[in-house]
Each structure stands twice: as structure tokens, then as C-alpha cells.
Chain A
Amino acid sequence: MGNRSKDLLQVEHSHPSSSRESSLLVGKNDSKPLQQKSYLQGNPITVPFPKSEVLGKVKDFIGVISEANRNLRLYAKDKPEEYDIEVLTGNESEYIKMDLMLGIADLHTPESLAAAEAAIAGCQSVINRNSTSSSLEFEGSSEEEEDEEEDDGGEDDDTRQSGSHVRHKDSELQQDDFLSALLRSHQKKKPSKIIELSVQSGSDCSIRSMAMATLRREGKRLSPLISPRPIEALRSALVPYQEEAHGLRYISTQAVRNRMKSVKSIQKITKAMKMVAASKLRQVQSKAENSRGIWQPFTALLGDIPSVDVKKTVLVTISSDKGLCGGINSTSVKISRAIHKLNSGPDKEAKYVILGEKAKVQLVRDSKKHIELSITELQKNPLNYTQVSVLADDILKNVQFDALRIVFNKFNSVVSFVPTMATILSPEIVEREAEAGGKLGALDSYEIEGGETKSEILQNLAEFQFSCVLFNAVLENACSEQGARMSAMDSSSRNAGEMLDRLTLTYNRTRQASITTELIEIISGASALEG
């Protein structure tokens, strides 16, 4: 029985083709005894037929095949572009369709087959069902497949009878069986059809030989692509899919719950900050409103001339030390920049004196050359006049000025702040303006008591005016800061509440969906058991 197939194998070996293909052939060879056995058992009354002429044809054809293959190789070497199956010109009239799936193609030993099936069935452990009988390839598959095989065997009988008319020798049967089993097993082992071939016509031998050649080429092409450890590759490809499917069953609400927790704590913080800002605002608001009475007499006497044109301007920008208070700091910085631009030129210069951390941070970026002084930590204690007057004294001692311009946010209401500039003139400029007339012209009508000169009085007045106006400005700005912080915290806790509502809705929906799914599963399982 082995002679013919050995011949065939030797033909294979004489042309050193790919190991892939020869191993395939060995695998099929091993399966033959079973095939034959079942065939013989199924049809015990087989009568030996007279010697077929097809066998002789086959014998001759082996030589023809090998010759054709050799020629094919030679031609392929000369004109590789014509024989490259990868390149399609679109003019192909006839072709054999081969749908291959990588990784599964080399499951030709029973162990690997069992492992692959175990993996596909979702079973993690590889059960080596046929470790003892390595030749029983088809038994490695499930019973279902064996049934199929029996059906296939019946069909095969028909095919064989119509294809090659007479069979009377084991060897012939085996040869034929071998080829058809090879093709059939390929169709079987791969989920998608590998070869769509009609094995019916009379000249099936030639078709088969063509198929063999094609297989050989295909095998060569595939061999580098197929991983040396196919089972591992198969398993690793399958495992993430399984995990994904596993995760889909149980929708996790953990992420939503964590987010809800964090939003809730943020809301708590913003609410607390709002309360603190509200109580601070109440304290500072009365102070600020009372302090307005301090600067009003000065404005009545010395006036507030924002349009005065002087050489040395000092901008006192008032801001807060802490953030999270809306746009009050950036507003005062913007106004300060604009005034700085207005009051600087070829013969004029303007300098900054910055109160508060936030304006410092913003002004350092583009105008750090013009910063003269920066003052922070002003609001550590509750604001009082002594503190601000000492600060004003410090500023007066450290800067040279013709006019001081204080930029701050005047408190109007909890939600409205007016960026304001207060101007304090130096005594010299006051005198100049008084001489020029205008608003300060009435200053000369005042009578001066005591031994001081007018300039001395004006100096004292200017200093005191600055400290009073600065005190009011600091208070107004602190008041605006607290009001802005209050409204900012109010809106942020409202937003946090909205977000929390949305998250709660999502959470409850997800929970309800999972409960519903579980109920459906239980009910359908129960009804399936009953039915």
C-alpha cells in the first residue's frame, strides 16, 4: 500500500520544496490507515475490479507533473513577474479561489488541533486527547466532525465512482483517497473554504495535479508568514477577544461613582469658599463704605484730575493675593497697562507699584522693567488704616512722582465692580495747576493759618490724601474681591450640582440596565429550561 504514496513522497523530496508542504503531506499520509479502514468496514463487500488503465495514466502523470513543476520553476526564475501570484493584471480568465486563514493552516497534528479547538471552545486548558495515537488525525476533532466526515465519505464515494471509473487496487484507492482526503481535510480544518474545486470531471488527475502545484506555491508563499508556534499565536489572538466579551457582560459603575464622589467634594469646597467669602464681604463692606467719607473732602479740596499731563507717573495697581475671584485682577491689570501706555513716551515715564500677588504675576510677563515696588501679604490681618498708612509712607519714600494713579476695582454691588483710577498730584503739580486756574483755581481763596507756608501745607495734604485714598482703594478692592469670589464660587457650586445630576442619571441608568439584563437572562434561562 505504501509504495505509491512513497513514490509520491519521493517525488516531493526530490524537489526540495518547502518544509511546510511536506509536513502537510506526512500528516495526510498518517491519516490514511483510518480512512481505508473505515472505508473497508463501511463497505465490506467490495469486489476487486479489473486493473484500471487510469493507474497507468497516473503513473505516467507523476513524471509529467514533476517535469511541469521543474519547468514552472525555471520559467518563474526567468520571468518572475508573470508567475508572481501576488500580482493581478485583471486579465485572469480562470483562477482557483483559495481563502486561507493564517495560524490555523498548520494544525495538522492532533495535539495542535485539540489545543486549537479547546481554545476556540473557550476552554483554557489544552486537553491532549490523542497523544497516544498520533496517526488518528480526524479523531482529534469533535464527534460532530466525524459525522460530517462520514457524510463526506459517502459523497466521496460518488465522486470517486463518477471521476475514476474503476478501482480495484488498494494502492490506487489510497492514492486517490490521499488526494481527496488532502483537499477535503483542508476544507474541513479551516473555517473558511480553502479550495473551491470540482473533483468530478474525468480528467480529475490533471486538475488535482494543478491543485497540488498551486498548493505547493501557496504553501511556499505562506510558510514565512506562519508563525513557528501556531498555537501560541492562535491563543494570544483569541484571549483579548474573550476578555472583551467578558467585560461587556458586566458594565462597571466604578468610574462613574468615583467621578461623582470627586464632584461632590469639589462642590463642598466651593460651597464652603462661598460661605467664607460672604462673611468676609460683610465685614469689609461696611468698612469700605465708611472709608468713602475719608477721601471725599480731599477730592472736594484738591480735586481728582485724571487728565493731568505729568512727566513722572507712578501707577499703584491694586489686586488680590489669592485667586479664584473672577476677573477683577485681570481687569485692574488691563486698565493699568492702558494707563501706562498713555503716560509713557519719549519725555515721560511711568512706573508700577504693585499691591497683591496676582497683578505681579501678570505684569512680570511683559513690563517687569517698569516695576518699582511690589507689596504682598497685605490682607493677612484685617485691613486697617495704620497698616495702609505705613504702606503709603513706604511708597512715598521709595518713588519719585509727579502724579500717583491708583487703579482698583470700586465696589458697586456683589456682582458689579467698576475699575477706577484715583489721581493724587504732588504738591508742585498742585501749585502749578492752581496757578493755571481751572478746577484747582479756587485753592488760592483759602486762608492759611499758623506759621506754615502754602507749599508745606500742600505737601502734608498730598501725603495724607494719598494714604486716605489708598486706604479706601484697598478696602474697595478687597470688597470687590470677596464679592467676585462669592459669585464665582456660587456659579461653580451650581455647575458642580448640575454635573452631579447628570452623573447620577448616568449611574442610575447603567445600574438599571444591568439589573434589567440580569432579569432577562434569568427569565429566558428559566423559560428555556421549562420549554
Chain B
Amino acid sequence: MSSSAAVPFWRAAGMTYITYSNICASLVRNCLKEPYKSEAIAREKVHYSISKWSDGKSEKPTIRSDVAED
């Protein structure tokens, strides 16, 4: 029941369903017991570099990574 009410809020915050589901997934992972918890968190590493293109030229690539942070 709470989820049905929550939808407009995260949409309004500029989140997509993917972001929302990822946050949900990380919450579930955090509910795991050790050692499964750290194992599951270590598995889900995000690392890529993305660059936008405009007028046939690539802009400076930005690196999305949580490897260094963790």
C-alpha cells in the first residue's frame, strides 16, 4: 500500500524506475547477514566511462564508478 503512494514522489524527484529499483535492491542486500552481505555488495560494482557527443565531437568522458569509493 505504501508503494502505491510512493510512486509520484520518486518520479517527482527525477528518478526513473531503474534508480528506484536499484535503491530497493541495495536495501534488500543490506538486510543480508554477513558474510553474504559483503559478498553481495562486492559483486555489484559499477564502473564505466560515458561521454556525450555533440556536432560529431565527443565531450570529455565522465567516469561513473563506485569502485574507488567502496
A384 contact set on B, CB distance < 8 A: 43-45
Q: Look across to chain A and name the residue whose beta carbon is closest to the beta carbon of B3.
A: A450
A371 contact set on B, CB distance < 8 A: 53, 56, 58
One of B18, B57, B63 near A393 (C-beta < 8 A): B18
Q: Is B37 an interface residue (CB 8 A)?
A: no
Task: List CB contacts (< 8 Å) of A350-408 with chain B.
Answer: 368-369, 371-378, 380-382, 384-387, 389-394, 396-398
One of B45, B52, B53 near A387 (C-beta < 8 A): B45
Task: List CB contacts (< 8 Å) of A391-449 with chain B.
Answer: 391-394, 396-398
Please tell me if the beta carbons of A389 and B22 are within 8 angstroms of each other in the complex: yes
A451 contact set on B, CB distance < 8 A: 4-5, 7
- Interface residues of A, count at CB 8 A: 36
B18 contact set on A, CB distance < 8 A: 389-390, 392-393, 396, 463-464, 466-467
Please tell me if the beta carbons of A460 and B17 are within 8 angstroms of each other in the complex: yes
One of A389, A394, A397 near B21 (C-beta < 8 A): A389
Q: Is A60 an interface residue (CB 8 A)?
A: no
* Cβ of A496 to closest chain B Cβ, rounded Å: 35
Please tell me if the beta carbons of A386 and B25 are within 8 angstroms of each other in the complex: yes
Please tell me if the beta carbons of A378 and B55 are within 8 angstroms of each other in the complex: no
Q: Is A456 an interface residue (CB 8 A)?
A: yes
Q: Could you say which interface size class chain B belongs to?
A: 20 to 34
* Cβ of B13 to closest chain A Cβ, rounded Å: 13
Q: Is B67 an interface residue (CB 8 A)?
A: yes
* Cβ of B24 to closest chain A Cβ, rounded Å: 11
Please tell me if the beta carbons of B61 and A376 are within 8 angstroms of each other in the complex: yes
B7 contact set on A, CB distance < 8 A: 451-452, 456
Q: Is B48 an interface residue (CB 8 A)?
A: yes
* Cβ of A399 to closest chain B Cβ, rounded Å: 10
B57 contact set on A, CB distance < 8 A: 368
Q: Is A459 an interface residue (CB 8 A)?
A: yes
B44 contact set on A, CB distance < 8 A: 384-387
Please tell me if the beta carbons of B49 and A375 are within 8 angstroms of each other in the complex: yes
Please tell me if the beta carbons of A464 and B21 are within 8 angstroms of each other in the complex: yes
Q: Is B38 an interface residue (CB 8 A)?
A: no
* Cβ of A396 to closest chain B Cβ, rounded Å: 6
Please tell me if the beta carbons of A374 and B17 are within 8 angstroms of each other in the complex: no
Cα distance, A381 to B63, chains bound together (Å): 14
A377-B45 contact, Cβ under 8 Å, with A368-B56, A464-B18? no
Q: Look across to chain B and name the residue whose beta carbon is closest to the beta carbon of A381.
A: B45
Q: Is B51 an interface residue (CB 8 A)?
A: yes
Please tell me if the beta carbons of B46 and A387 are within 8 angstroms of each other in the complex: yes
A392 contact set on B, CB distance < 8 A: 18
Task: List CB contacts (< 8 Å) of B1-60 with chain A.
Answer: 3-5, 7, 11, 16-19, 21-22, 25-26, 43-53, 55-58
One of B16, B17, B48 near A376 (C-beta < 8 A): B48
One of B49, B51, B52, B56 near A369 (C-beta < 8 A): B56
A398 contact set on B, CB distance < 8 A: 52
* Cβ of B53 to closest chain A Cβ, rounded Å: 4
One of A368, A374, A377, A389 near B63 (C-beta < 8 A): A377
Please tell me if the beta carbons of B17 and A387 are within 8 angstroms of each other in the complex: no
Please tell me if the beta carbons of A463 and B17 are within 8 angstroms of each other in the complex: yes
A368-B53 contact, Cβ under 8 Å, with A389-B21, A393-B19, A460-B17? yes
Please tell me if the beta carbons of B53 and A386 are within 8 angstroms of each other in the complex: no
A456 contact set on B, CB distance < 8 A: 7, 11
Please tell me if the beta carbons of A381 and B67 are within 8 angstroms of each other in the complex: yes
Please tell me if the beta carbons of A373 and B4 are within 8 angstroms of each other in the complex: no
A378 contact set on B, CB distance < 8 A: 47-48
Known: A373-B53, A451-B4, A467-B18. 19 other contacts (CB 8 A): A368-B56, A374-B50, A374-B61, A375-B48, A375-B49, A377-B48, A377-B63, A380-B47, A382-B43, A384-B45, A387-B45, A389-B18, A390-B64, A391-B50, A393-B18, A396-B18, A450-B4, A452-B7, A464-B21
Q: Sort A-B residue pairs by CB-CB distance and give the 4 closest, nearest first.
A: A386-B44, A450-B4, A460-B17, A368-B56
Complex A-B: 5 CB contacts under 8 Å: A375-B50, A377-B48, A384-B44, A393-B19, A456-B7
Could you tell me which A residues sit within 8 Å of B by CB distance? 368-369, 371-378, 380-382, 384-387, 389-394, 396-398, 450-452, 456, 459-460, 463-464, 466-467
Could you tell me which B residues sit within 8 Å of A by CB distance? 3-5, 7, 11, 16-19, 21-22, 25-26, 43-53, 55-58, 61, 63-64, 67
